[in-house]
Amino acid sequence: MDGNIQVTEKKQVVLSLVQPTGTPTLGNYLGAFKNWAKMAEDYDCLFGAADLHSITVRTEPKVLKSRIIEIYAILLSLGLNPEKNIIFVQSQVPQHSQLGWILNCYTQFGEAARMTQFKDKSKKYAENVNVGLFSYPTLMAADILLYQADFVPVGEDQKQHLELARDIATRMNNLYGNLFTVPAPFIGKAGAKVMSLQEPTKKMSKTDPNTKSFISMLDTPDVILKKIKSAVTDSEGKVYYSEEKPGISNLMSIYSACTGLSYKEIEKEFDGKGYGDFKAAVAEAVIEELRPFRAEFDRIINDKAYILSSMEKGAERAEKRARRTLDKVMKKIGFVSYR
């Protein structure tokens, strides 16, 4: 072989989708988004707005549209290069829905009925227990398998869905040969686990009815300061990490993630100082952490032409990959193609 020929190793594929059901929180940013730009350097990454999943709950059309644009602008503002990474909107790639139906027919009713998220959401939205809510995991499997993803970053609430995707992929591979890559959970650099500011034993959530409990990635500096000042702590008045002090420990985790300081260094910095000083410092650290992202978001969200152009390019690139997989699946199953 010619010594001048370089063999480029094919990168493994990682798929990350975000639902446009509200603005992501500081927890989403520190726990995952902050690491995505680095992840995109090491892997072949696809990032997307999972808008088809969001309509299992009734949403006003204008609200849904604005949320899709917002979450897409957020993805573009994370330092991800749209030329190197595919950044797309799920509903703009029709193969998701097409493969989703096919996978429905290779998923047993009992498998789907066991999904704990379906059970939980059926109770929460008892007035609207729709078929989409039930088949949500098979559409999620289609999202993953379409792109032959090696890895998928998933939280605790989605692990069961990824297992189902693995089961479906294995079942269809056994039936038809090598159709799909069997995906695995992505274990990257551990991000900060951010808890509610008002109930620090619960995870921070954008759907929490108490808006003081979470910091949105798009909150203004004044709002961030107010929310952190009102964060639940304790009466001891001393800054140190302990499971017996969930409120202060949560704020220390946030401060550590934003500054890079260890818990010991934080304890030393605030030795002899009260919670007021500590909260003010945490708020300032959060504001500075989000400042570059917020500046980029403010620039992008006001450039609708750029957003729509990026969506079009992202959809074209995603569909090119998705069509390869779908065509292969349909041919193996026995559908007739005129192409």
Catalytic residues, by residue number, are: 121, 203, 206
Cα torsion 283, 289, 290, 292 to 10°: value is 140
Q: Say if CB 149 and CB 14 are below 8 A apart.
A: yes
Q: What is the DSSP string of 95-134?
A: HHHHHHHHHHTTS-HHHHHT-HHHHHHHHHTGGG--HHHH
For residue 185, CA distances in Å to 43, 268, 318 come to: 14, 37, 21
**Rounded Cα–Cα distance for residues 218 and 26 (Å):** 9
Neighbours of 17 (CB within 10 A): 21
Report the C-alpha dihedral over residues 225, 289, 84, 179, rounded to 10 degrees.
-70
Q: Which residue has the tokens 């959970």?
A: 185
Among positive and negative, which fits the CA dihedral 37, 43, 48, 54? negative
What is the C-alpha radius of gyration for the chain, rounded to an integer number of angstroms? 22
